[in-house]
Structure 1
């Protein structure tokens, strides 16, 4: 999986994202909450207009919200909202800012980052992209350019019925061999 430091040696957009995050001071301001890059940029399926996602852990969401208002409230496009979570989810705070050409979304829950749904989805998506190679990156990008969200695009390619967000979490419970074997049989395009 790609970390913030790995973005520095990634493709051109990943390097730009890295420099944007470093230059903005966002990572330093959020350091106590272990900001972790997630979403489409780290796994190289972003399209023009994609945002940079940062996942954070915040034991106290009220204190986190106070911090981001204090530290980021003056930044371009600042918006912040709280959510009570959905079925099976924990409450969260989402803040958005614009840094240079990048919209940045900061998402915090009391849940450790490695157990947050966005992180788990990204791990499964990364594993599938490693199996599919360039053909998978191209297929998912094409769907995203048509307006598809990431998880529904993966579900479509795999012929998954039902809620794509829940189904991606289900796939995450499988070991690597089972996931890859199943994906080889169910992927709707040719790869390798």
Structure 2
């Protein structure tokens, strides 16, 4: 797996600032037992103003995770903790603001390299490298209010649910291996 957090240390000014803030919070050490991975738009350089920092984790015991997240981060601005079901899997999500950056901590009982956020990021990064004009077009749509995956799908002509179809596209194009066939 690529360590996008370490790559950000030498990236754009926004990436370097985010790297320092993440290190201040010490999230990756405090939550190391959950195999945290930084995902989303910032690590691959397609963030816009207001983009959050998504950190996904493999969490087998959601109750313990909820308590730990609350204990560590409840005192930060706009702290919210939510438990819900996404695509048939129970998840815990926490959001808060620290140093003017919005964080989203996401936990579910699934290896991080099989989670949608990670798969999307890997596919998007590969596509950005392969198709030079894609970044500018995605950024334009994002500034118009599109979420990242729907923006990629619109540009690439992918129809259906952008979150599942982008993964199917990545598999069919050989960008990623089917993570669920292992």
Confirm or deny a common fold (TM above 0.5): yes
Moved over 6 A (4+): none
* Structure number with bigger Rg: 1
TM-score of the two chains, using structure 1 as the length reference: 0.86
Q: Give me the whole-angstrom Cα distance separating, in 1, the residues matched to 2:104 and 2:150.
A: 20
Cα displacement (A) at 1:85: 2.3
> Does structure 2 retain, via aligned residues, the 8 Å contact 1:2–1:42?
no
**If the length of structure 2 is used for normalisation, what is the TM-score?**
0.90
Query: Which residue pairs with 1:190 in the alignment?
Result: none
How many residues align structurally? 175
1:145 paired residue number: 143
The CA deviation string for residues 165-187 of structure 1, in whole angstroms up to 9 with x for no partner, is 11112113235379xxxxxxxxx
* 3-state secondary structure, aligned to 1:176: coil
Q: In structure 2, what is the equivalent of residue 159 of structure 1?
A: 157
Q: What's the secondary structure of 2:78's corresponding residue?
A: coil
Task: Trace 1:94-173 onto structure 2 (pairs within 5 A).
Answer: 94-133=93-132, 135-173=133-171
Extract unaligned runs of 5+ from structure 2: 177-182
The structure richer in strand per residue is: 2
Structure 1 stretches lacking a partner, 5+ long: 179-192
Aligned equivalents of 1:147, 1:127: Cα separation in 2: 23
Q: Name the residue aligned to 2:180.
A: none
